[in-house]
Amino acid sequence: MTSEHIISVTESSFEYDVIAYSQNIPVVVDFWADWCKPCRVLTPMLERFAEQSQGEFRLAKVDVDANPNLALRFSVRSIPTVMAFSQGRKVSDFTGLVPEHVVREFLARILPPRPSDLLAQKGNSLLHAGELKEAMEAFMQALDLDENHSPSLLGMIKINLLEGNSAAARSLYQNFPASPEFNAAEKLVPLIKALQDIDDDQLPQENDLDAVFVNSIRLVKRRNTLAGIDGLLEVIRQDKRYRKDLARSVLLALLELLDPEAELTRKYRAELASILF
């Protein structure tokens, strides 16, 4: 495939089509060959991303059989090999067939941030500062630009959980797009379910430890997140494997809502580790 954003380059055109062109936008070079089976999977993936980017980067394809000197010049020992060029120099690379999320992360490192990404960064900063209303506004602005912007959707799930709104969080999760942020969203599922269960009066209430657990979830529901965390830690102190790790999984989900760099978050994680190990 060739198009405005996807080209084939040769030894004679490489300097202009890749090195010089990378002064304007990043150029991703795909070293491939007809006989390479992994290339048949990776190259279409790269082509799809190039088309979707609408000019954020150029994909330049190099047939190593037809252009052996280019493979030699850039020490290509196996294919597929992918290299990114910016400002006239190589800035990143990877070799072999990798999952789609790895390709996305590779591209994210070389591309300038989109307005939606900058808004999501702002939203996360506000979220970690406890400014939930302002954080939601930033995430919503990002979603106005890109309705499937996964960092902003993840932020919206976190805000709804901090506000005890399990129904909204669940709906956002159920419609979450395939993306690098999906795994982070998945970590929040135990908390989504616990908040939903307390709404439906489905949490266990058979003994005193169950009462502590239920009260902890109620505290989270009432936006008293830190008190809820303290309660869950107490449950785990008394029973490390409480109801097949239910308390631990909910606690870990709660910690995902906090600023990962905050001293309090590190303190809670260290306390959990000391109890478990």
Give CA–CA dist 211/115, Å, rounded: 46
Q: Which two tokens stand for residue 112?
A: 């300038």
At 114 the three-state DSSP class reads coil
| Known catalytic membership, residue 15 | no
Closest listed residue to residue 45, CA positions, set 93, 106, 112: 106
Alpha-carbon 171 to chain mean position? 18
Q: Which helix (H) or strand (E) holds 203?
A: none
Residues 44, 49, 50, 51, Cα dihedral to 10°: 90
**Catalytic option among 18, 28, 29, 39:** 39
End-to-end CA distance of the chain: 55
Where b means 16+ CB within 10 Å and e means fewer, 250-265 reads: bbbbbbbbbeeeeeeb
| Known catalytic membership, residue 22 | no
Angle at 81 between CA 3 and CA 76, to 5 degrees: 120
**Catalytic option among 6, 36, 142, 255:** 36
Half-sphere exposure of 257 (CA within 13 A, CB side): 29
CB atoms within 10 A of CB 181: 20
List, in order, residues 6 or more apart from 270 with CB less than 8 Å away.
none
Looking at the annotation, which residues are catalytic? 36, 39
